[in-house]
C-alpha cells in the first residue's frame, strides 16, 4: 500500500490542509500518536492507510497494533455474544 499510494498521499498533502496537518502530526508524534490513534474512534483500516502513506515505520506500528489489540478483541467478543443472543 505504501509504494502504490505514496504519490497520492504527497499530492493530497499539497492540496488538502487537513490531510497535511494530520500527516505532520503523525510524523512528529511517531509511536505515541500511532498508539493514540489506534485507541481512538477512528476506524483502524483508515488509520492504517494514513500511517502507510505518512511513512510510519513498521516497528512503532506493530507495537501500537499489539498494544491496541484488546480494543479489537472486545468489539469481536461483543459482536459474537450479541449475535448468539439473537440466534436463541
Tell me the mean pLDDT in the region 62-88: 86
Structural domain total, the chain = 1
Q: Which domain range does residue 42 map to?
A: 5-85
Cell output for 21: 496537518
Cα(81)–Cα(65) distance, integer angstroms: 24
Q: What is the pTM of this model?
A: 0.72
DSSP code for 43:
-
Q: Is the dihedral of CA 13, 49, 51, 80 positive or negative?
A: positive
Dig out the grid coordinates for 33 from the structure.
Answer: 500518536
What tens digit of pLDDT does each residue of 15-68 get? 999 888 988 898 888 899 999 999 988 888 888 888 888 888 889 999 999 999
Distances (CA, A) of 86 to 72, 75, 78, 80: 21, 17, 12, 10
Amino acid at each position: 500500500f505504501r509504494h502504490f499510494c505514496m504519490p497520492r498521499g504527497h499530492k493530497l498533502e499539497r492540496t488538502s490542509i487537513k490531510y497535511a496537518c494530520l500527516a505532520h502530526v503523525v510524523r512528529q508524534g511517531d509511536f505515541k500518536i500511532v498508539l493514540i490513534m489506534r485507541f481512538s474512534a477512528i476506524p483502524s483500516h483508515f488509520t492504517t492507510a494514513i500511517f502507510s502513506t505518512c511513512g510510519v515505520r513498521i516497528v512503532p506500528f506493530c507495537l501500537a497494533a499489539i498494544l491496541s489489540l484488546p480494543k479489537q478483541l472486545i468489539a469481536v467478543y461483543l459482536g459474537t455474544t450479541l449475535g448468539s443472543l439473537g440466534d436463541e
